[in-house]
């Protein structure tokens, strides 16, 4: 089992991009369930604030887990 973190913050992305990737209180439960359906992800955490969005996950394979998270983020937003 490996832990990975995929995200962006106010130093790496402007506010327009961060707003597109933000999770609201209403959308978070459904989005979280969708994240856990990704094949390589066993456990996960989503952190979404005004300054950053991060997905931390326990994955079977680091490379495939990273790809699953990136795919998830691009499909969700």
Which neighbouring-strand residues pair with 2? 59
Q: Tell me if residue 33 is catalytic.
A: no
68 Cβ contact partners less than 8 Å away, ≥ 6 residues apart: 38, 39, 40, 41, 59
From 3, 45, 50, 70, active-site residue:
50
Q: Contact at 8 Å (CB) between 21 and 11?
A: no
Active site residues: 50
């Amino acid at each position: 089992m490996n832990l990975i973190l995929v995200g962006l913050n106010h130093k790496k992305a402007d506010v327009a991009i961060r707003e597109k990737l933000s999770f609201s209180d209403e959308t978070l439960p459904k989005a979280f369930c969708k994240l856990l359906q990704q094949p390589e992800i066993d456990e996960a955490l989503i952190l979404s604030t005004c300054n950053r969005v991060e997905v931390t996950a326990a994955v079977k394979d680091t490379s495939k887990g990273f790809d699953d998270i990136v795919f998830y983020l691009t499909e969700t937003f």
